[in-house]
Amino acid sequence: MPSYNPPLRDMQFVMHELLQVTDEFKLMPKHADLDADTINAVLEEGGKFTTGVTFPINASGDHEGCVLDQTTHSVTTPKGWKEAYAQYVEGGWPALSGDPQWGGQGLPIVLNQAFYEMLNSANQAWTMYPGLAHGAHAAIEAHGTEAQKKMYLPNITSGKWLGTMCLTEAHCGTDLGLLRTKSEPQADGSYVITGSKIFISGGDSDFAENIVHLVLARLPDAPAGSKGISLFLVPKFLVNNDGSLGARNPIFVTGIEHKMGINGSATCQISIDGARGSLVGEPNKGLAAMFVMMNAARIGVGMQSLGLTEIAYQNALAYAKDRIQMRSLTGAKDLSKPADAIIVHPDVRKQLLTAKAYAEGGRAMSLYCALLIDKEHNHPDEQVRKDSAELVALLTPIVKAFLTDNGHIATNACMQVFGGHGFIKEWGMEQFVRDNRINMIYEGTNAVQSLDLLGRKILGNNGESLKKFGNQIAALVAEVKGDEQHVDDMQEFTVPLADLGQKMTAFTTEIGMRAFQNANEVGAASTDYLRVAGHLVFGYFFARMAYISLKAIASGASSGDAKFYQGKLQTARFYFAKLMPETLSLMATARTGAESLMDTEAALA
């Protein structure tokens, strides 16, 4: 059976030493009084909840799955899952980063994200139910009417009600302009909605007394395509004026998808048969309102793969230290045993270090994005808010696609460490692989994220957002150059980082020029381009983490801390030596262009 230990020390390192969150919070009146001790205490309690409540029911939930009662259209989740959610609500966890106006605790997003990493490590499928509620809350808070906010947000904040996002239809996935669900306005200001949806995560459960479905549909006079989509709030149970629950709304689950992974998450087919709803935001502007939820979900999906990368690494490391097989190529290391532990073998170490590097780089990047969101929402300086929002927009597709691709690489590498045992359910590794696989697909496939990054976020503003991130790299390089004590030791990090930054500029310009002649050049290069961008971002954070570690060791860190910092340095060295060089082959393949992909009528006949 697998085990899980929350990586609290590394979270504290990222929070307090890399991001220096308490200094950032002092500039935000809302969080100015939040100190490191409080942050650490919340993380410790979150770790206890995940290890004690949600992790023990992960494997059993994967085995049991969900059950649909076709008569009542109600979903029963695996044994113990409903009770775990009740403990989650009782502990106040749904309200952690919620606005106090709606009953929230008002703590920063970055703290909530760290908690969600632990939740995803412990039980991704279970975590999807409350995770979707955060997105629904954000969409209603940003675009809902005052009446909608007062009616729904306190109950979502408390965890009393859950939420979903209902986008996909059987004939259309990412291309939402093709959707057919209809909405008819009524004399009382409400709408009657009819249609069907598929792949709706958390479409029903036994967790909460009500579910707030956010549904995309078309008004009768809507223009064709994506410009004719509106967003509607459609509750499972209608809500009376006094806040009590009324009649069952005819939005029903008709089937549960049988999936490769995340089996405890009810992925539902939904029939909407004249359900009552209310408009969220302006008519025909539904995608803009839904994107608030979708962008939050995209960062959340990256966090799902980060969580799985971390737990897969922990278990593979423990196994590699215990499993004996063959002798080290440089001679026996443990003469008391008939063979050495497999951790002595170079390729096993490569697999372990790949997972470790992708976990630590993903943690740094995702918490940095969460801090940017806190600054975007709460910083008093308008320019800081604007710059933070721009960087979040740039990094969101990288968080979603790079972290989930890396999760696929890492969980498979960790399963490989187990050899044949990794393929056996009892060890838990194959579940991590299966659960992670969906993360590369939903909330916009990783190819869609790559098109968004290159076509919209980079070429769409002539690389201005990328330049802003590049300025941070330049500032780090300049800081290191001015540090006589550490400049030589930092060369192995800053030189290749600066070199990749320069190559990235030329690479971007070249792809952009080609795209002016042939739009397919963007599609042909985008997936490779996103991975190069991801490595650039990871390289920046690993260089910063290495710099912090060098200075901490030089200042006389205690033996325990010195070992931690030495581990950081070794992981950074591995990343720069073995993982970041992938960028060379990625840029080479991207530069071959679209012809070998599109001039293939005979090959694909």
* The last residue of a domain, from among 261, 285, 309: 285
Whether residue 119 is found in the same domain as residue 183: no
- Looking at residue 474, its pLDDT comes to 97
Q: What is the pLDDT of residue 41?
A: 98
pLDDT one-digit tens code per residue, 504-537 = 999 999 999 999 999 999 999 999 999 999 999 9
Instruction: Look at the chain and count its residues.
Output: 605
The confidence band for 22, taking pLDDT boundaries of 50, 70 and 90, is: very high
Could you give the 3-state DSSP secondary structure of residue 157?
helix
Owning domain of residue 475 = 463-599
Kindly report which listed range (283-292, 410-419, 432-441) carries the lowest average pLDDT score. Answer: 283-292
Pairing relationship of beta strands 237-239 and 230-235 according to DSSP bridges: unpaired
291 pLDDT more than 80: no
pLDDT tens digits, residue range 566-584? 999 999 999 999 999 999 9
Point out which residues pair with 195 in neighbouring strands.
272
**pLDDT in the model for residue 425:** 95
The CATH number for 108's domain is 1.10.540.10
Same domain, yes or no: 29 and 96: yes
The per-residue pLDDT for 284 is 94
Q: Which residue in the block uniquely carries the two structure tokens 């073998």?
A: 345
Looking at this protein, which amino acid is placed at residue 160? K
- At 148 the pLDDT is 97
Q: How far apart are CA 237 and CA 211, in angstroms?
A: 8
- At residue 178, the pLDDT reads 87
Model confidence pLDDT, tens digit, residues 319-376: 999 999 999 999 999 999 999 999 999 999 999 999 999 999 999 999 999 999 999 9
Residue 250 carries which side chain, given as an amino acid letter? P
Question: Is residue 587 a contact partner of residue 505, using CB atoms and an 8 Å limit?
Answer: no
Task: Identify whether residues 176 and 54 lie together within a single domain.
Answer: no
- Residue 511's contacts (CB-CB under 8 Å, 6 or more residues apart) are 454, 459, 521, 522, 525, 529, 590
Angstrom CA distances, 59 to 56, 116, 183, 268, 333, stand at 7, 19, 41, 21, 35
pLDDT band, residue 559 (cuts 50/70/90):
confident
Residue 363: closest CA among 432, 294, 410: 410
pLDDT at position 174 is: 80
d(CA 132, CA 143): 17
Q: Report the Cα 371 to chain-centroid distance in Å.
A: 14
Domain-terminating residue out of 221, 252, 285: 285
The neighbour count for residue 383, using CB atoms within 10 Å, is 8
Residue 334 belongs to some domain of the structure: no
Provide the pairing of β-strand 182-185 with 67-69. unpaired
430 an active-site residue?
Answer: no
Provide the pLDDT for residue 273: 97
Question: Do 558 and 496 belong together in one domain?
Answer: yes
Does some domain include residue 362?
A: no
DSSP secondary structure letters along 264-319: TS-EEEEEEEEEEEEEESSTT-HHHHHHHHHHHHHHHHHHHHHHHHHHHHHHHHHH
The owner of tokens 């990493």 is 117
Same domain, 45 and 98: yes
User: Can you tell me the mean pLDDT for 293-301?
Assistant: 83
pLDDT of residue 71: 95
Element (H, E) at 525: helix 520-554
Is 169 among the domain residues? yes
φ, ψ of residue 180 to 5 degrees: the values are -120, -10
- 259 and 199: one domain? yes
Per-residue pLDDT at 177: 80
**Residue 294, pLDDT above cutoff 80:** no
Token pair for 410: 């890492």
CA angle (387 as vertex; 381, 391 as ends), nearest 5 = 145
Average pLDDT score over the chain: 96
What pLDDT does residue 527 have? 98
Average pLDDT of the segment spanning 309-314: 98
Q: What is the structure's pLDDT at 328?
A: 95
Question: Are residue 172 and residue 103 in the same domain, yes or no?
Answer: no
pLDDT of residue 478: 97
pLDDT digits (tens, 9 = 90+) for 114-166: 999 999 999 999 999 999 999 899 999 999 999 999 999 999 999 999 999 99
Tens of pLDDT, residue by residue over 484-506, are 999 999 999 999 999 999 999 99
Question: Would residue 595 count as lying in a domain?
Answer: yes
pLDDT of residue 310: 98
Q: What DSSP state is assigned to residue 325? A: -
- pTM of the prediction? 0.97
Whether residue 225 sits in one domain with residue 268: yes
What CATH number did the domain enclosing 275 receive?
2.40.110.20
What is the per-residue pLDDT across 89-103, written as a single tens digit (0 to 9) for each?
A: 999 999 999 999 999
Q: Do residue 220 and residue 125 come from a single domain?
A: no
Q: Which one of 257, 443, 521, 582 is the catalytic residue?
A: 443
pLDDT in tens, 470-489: 999 999 999 999 999 999 99
Say if residue 406's pLDDT is above 90: yes
% of the chain residues with pLDDT over 90:
94
| 166 and 133 in a common domain | no
All residues at 6 or more sequence positions from 595 whose CB lies less than 8 Å from its CB, including other chains: none
- At 176 the pLDDT is 80
